[in-house]
Structure 1
Amino acid sequence: METVIVLLNRDLRVHDHPALAEACSRARAVVPLFVVDLAIRGRHRAGFLAEALDDLRSSLRDRGGDLVVRYGDPVAEAVRLAGELPAEAIWASADVSAFARRRERRLAEACAVRRLDFRLFPGLTIVPPGELMPIGGDHYRVFTPYWRAWSATRHRPVLEAPSLVTLPEGIDPGTPPVPTSPPYGDLRGGETVARRRLELWTKLCLADYAEGHDALAEDQTSMLSPYLRFGCVSPSEVAARAGDHPGAEDFVRQLCWRDFFYQVALAFPDLPRRDYRPRRTGWNDDEDAAEAWRQGMTGVPIVDAGMRQLQALGWMHNRARMIVGSFLTKRLNIHWRVGGEHFAELLLDGDIPSNWGNWQWVAGTGNDTRPNRVLNPLRQARRFDADGTYVRRYVPELAALPAPLIHEPWRASPPVPGYPAPLVPYWTMDR
């Protein structure tokens, strides 16, 4: 094969990239192509994405190639470039969202018309969505049986990065977006940062993960989720690096949860829009309460801390996500779509399957086998932020209050000027 275009999307890396590796082994020339789709919302992630693209371009240039960047519709730009080169094939990594699958269908149809070879490869998950199916069903609806099947499955080997990427002569690589100062703390985009974080975290922190990952103020989580969302690191390589080290099973189980929601989203494309399991009605349409929740001004310190962490970092501790989600849907009775849309707008790791799958889970309309589960925010705070460090970090107006007083949603008046009284009665939260 003479020339293959590898259309990149959420797979911005050179290591363990099945489509790129296959193209480099079979074609004389390979064009790694990223199309900046101006129709996609979420330009708030532009800095992280631009850094990831800049890092990817450097890695490809180190191997003799380059990252080719175009702007517009990915299908139209890929097909146009194939005609200009010319190229014989367009390959890509398979995705599961309704938007991505429409794009894949359009690309398949366009390639068929022009007699281009079109192929989809694995790589966004450890086990490809749809590969594991229960007897008599099209996908697993409960996690534990999926975890058992997933754990018993032989996972594909992790691939090395290609040593050589040969770009066709005369091609204009284009200009990628310019990286900007990161608005999300010290989270920088790119495969180089992701692999360094993975290496250090598995060496220094993995052993303590099982016992410490729920501690809100501690840095016991890997914070690799934004890099998985953009494909700066392969989930297969993350699992392989964890291996059989102490703490690995609990950590790898979280990667399995990610795969689980991907296979749910593949089978139920309406996951961001409709109840997976219609169990609830009569949602509360209270925009003032919803906005107070978004701004971290509910009057419940642990909830407000989580929401302000999201605003500050574009990331939130997983335990905090469960607390704020339960509070919105089970205490304020506000629809899970309100929460999911806010998370999708701000989270760096807000991919469609995990974001919406988790929101439906916490709301009781998804895959939770205990749909009436309600997390008590006071008990959660006392257990996972016992000394109040997490609340003080993100709700500084309460910093002078000692624990456990700092977690109290004050009954009648706020503890300090400017901090609100709780949106829901104190006594309903303490049971």
Structure 2
Amino acid sequence: MPSDQYGSTAIVLFNRDLRVHDHPALAAACERAERVVPLFVLDPAVPAGQRTGFLLECLADLRASLRERGGELFVRHGDTVRETMRLAAELGTETVYASADVSSFARRREERLAAERIEFLCFPGVTVVPPDELRPSGGGDHYRVFTPYWREWTRRNRRWQLAPPRKIRTPPGLDAGPLPAGRPHPGMPGGESQARDRAARWLRQGLSGYADGHDDLAGDRTSRLSPYLRFGCLSPLELACRAGHSVDFVRQLCWRDFHHQVTYAFPRINRENYRHPERRWRHDQEALQAWQAGMTGLPIVDAGMRQLLAEGWMHNRARLIVAAYLIRHLGVDWRDGAWHFWRHLLDGDVANNFGNWQWVAGTGNDTRPNRGFNPLRQARRYDPAGDYVRRYVPELAGLPAAHVHEPWRLPNPPAGYPARLDGTD
């Protein structure tokens, strides 16, 4: 092994934890090492797609925060493990710190780093409670049902929140590396600074009305903090503690943890049914493309899908409606819908995106796998005046509330469009 030419130097590998507040890996490195090298690798094997601009803003903000503390964000391009090891060899360092993650890709990356001739240390921080920490008392490596997980999650003692490092010392003369300029995402700029401002404002002004308003499609009274949690611009632990008096909101953070512990135990969640045998799906490209474009002829579905294309985000109630329509009414494979969401959502991550799609499909953690879900009833209940539909489907802007949710005629309706929409909520 090469000697450490800079004294005690540690690399902190950032992946999905782009912040300085409550960052256990960064805090530990700053405490133990004389010099710290914060590193992010732009890896072509991890295409950001529609999230690229948001990601680059997050990285620019992280670089600014590290510089305020005397540090730097070192950026490299290529395979994450190879670039990390190349930098370790250049520095003569033998220790790499990182936040543990749950997807199969992240786990393989961790295994590759652990197999190298370095000390590789993983820390919590992506979830409130580490995904391998809670085990059912009756046996098993993870909870398959949410409610008992929620009970245990609420009783669990949590780690201390960590302040950001006051001072970060980096090796002299090391090239920081270029950070490409990103195109800002309209309405939702990336970065920890933006995340903390948005969170503080929403906790002050929006949290009290969350229980009554989070399903109001037109009111749009959710926090919209999910993209910042996805990129780790916010500590989920800090957010859970600050919102602790709102059981309804904290429960959503617990759902996020729940899906992460399921994915940790079943990393094939984005490819295979979590449970129940494979069913026969309709492979109807015309129907799928109409759904993707927001041209199904069902206003509430089209509104949700057009919001996704326009904003890279979709109201959570709309996500349930459009997913249930694709799966339950058109009979299209849940994976086709999940991958479309994955490509377009700013908050798209493996655990929550694919876990929720499997829940809707009845192949995941829903204890009622054959649950009925009527999109027309959902529309009339959660968008009673039709304002959400009119906002995203301008063709229907002039219709009164009594008619705005009725299916409308398309020039070329998809072959799978059903004549009737029956079912229950």
What interval of TM-score do these two structures reach, taking the shorter chain for normalisation? over 0.9
State the match for 2:66 in structure 1.
60
* 1:294-346 superposed Cα distances (whole Å, 9 cap, x missing partner): 00111100000000000001110000000001000100010100001100110
Change (3 A) 1:422 1:309: farther
Which 10-residue stretch deviates more, 35-44 or 361-370?
35-44
What secondary structure is seen at the aligned counterpart in 2 of 1:407?
coil
State the match for 2:159 in structure 1.
156
What secondary structure is seen at the aligned counterpart in 1 of 2:121?
strand
Deviation at 1:157?
1.5
State the match for 1:43 in structure 2.
49
State the match for 1:222 in structure 2.
223
- For the aligned residue pairs, the C-alpha RMSD in angstroms reads 1.4
State the match for 1:396 in structure 2.
394
Q: What amino acid is the match of 1:155?
A: R
Q: What amino acid is the match of 2:359?
A: W
* 1:64-83 superposed Cα distances (whole Å, 9 cap, x missing partner): 00100000011111111111
Unaligned runs of 5+ in 1: none
Distance in 2 (alpha carbons) for counterparts of 1:20 and 1:10: 13
Q: What amino acid is the match of 2:120?
A: F
8 A contact 2:362–2:370 mirrored in 1: yes
1:154-233 aligned at under 5 Å gives the runs: 154-182=157-185, 185-233=186-234
Q: May I ask how many residue pairs the two structures share in their alignment? A: 417
State the match for 1:364 in structure 2.
362
Q: What amino acid is the match of 1:334?
A: V
* 1:97-131 superposed Cα distances (whole Å, 9 cap, x missing partner): 00000000001111xx3xx2210000000000110
8 A contact 2:56–2:179 mirrored in 1: yes
8 A contact 1:97–1:353 mirrored in 2: yes
8 A contact 1:2–1:88 mirrored in 2: no
1:229-378 aligned at under 5 Å gives the runs: 229-244=230-245, 248-279=246-277, 281-378=279-376
State the match for 2:96 in structure 1.
90
Distance in 2 (alpha carbons) for counterparts of 1:38 and 1:255: 30
8 A contact 2:324–2:373 mirrored in 1: yes
8 A contact 1:409–1:426 mirrored in 2: no
Distance in 2 (alpha carbons) for counterparts of 1:62 and 1:142: 44
Distance in 2 (alpha carbons) for counterparts of 1:395 and 1:423: 21
8 A contact 2:220–2:315 mirrored in 1: no
8 A contact 1:298–1:423 mirrored in 2: no
What secondary structure is seen at the aligned counterpart in 2 of 1:118?
strand
Q: What amino acid is the match of 1:102?
A: R
4+ aligned runs moved over 4 Å, structure 1? 418-423
State the match for 2:27 in structure 1.
21
Distance in 2 (alpha carbons) for counterparts of 1:306 and 1:10: 27
For residue 104 of structure 1, the aligned residue among 95, 99, 110 is: 110
8 A contact 2:53–2:183 mirrored in 1: yes
Distance in 2 (alpha carbons) for counterparts of 1:136 and 1:87: 41
**Identity among equivalent pairs (%):** 59
TM-score (norm 2): 0.96
Deviation at 1:43?
2.8
State the match for 2:3 in structure 1.
none
Distance in 2 (alpha carbons) for counterparts of 1:207 and 1:86: 52
State the match for 1:144 in structure 2.
147
8 A contact 1:300–1:422 mirrored in 2: no
Distance in 2 (alpha carbons) for counterparts of 1:5 and 1:409: 56
Unaligned runs of 5+ in 2: 1-6
Q: What amino acid is the match of 1:132?
A: L
Distance in 2 (alpha carbons) for counterparts of 1:428 and 1:302: 13
Distance in 2 (alpha carbons) for counterparts of 1:88 and 1:150: 36
Distance in 2 (alpha carbons) for counterparts of 1:377 and 1:39: 37
Deviation at 1:228?
0.5
Q: What amino acid is the match of 1:300?
A: L
8 A contact 2:35–2:169 mirrored in 1: yes
Change (3 A) 1:90 1:385: same
Which 10-residue stretch deviates more, 25-34 or 36-45?
36-45
For residue 127 of structure 1, the aligned residue among 126, 129, 138 is: 129
Deviation at 1:218?
1.1
TM-score (norm 1): 0.94
* 1:143-198 superposed Cα distances (whole Å, 9 cap, x missing partner): 0000000001011121110100111111111111212232xx31110000000000
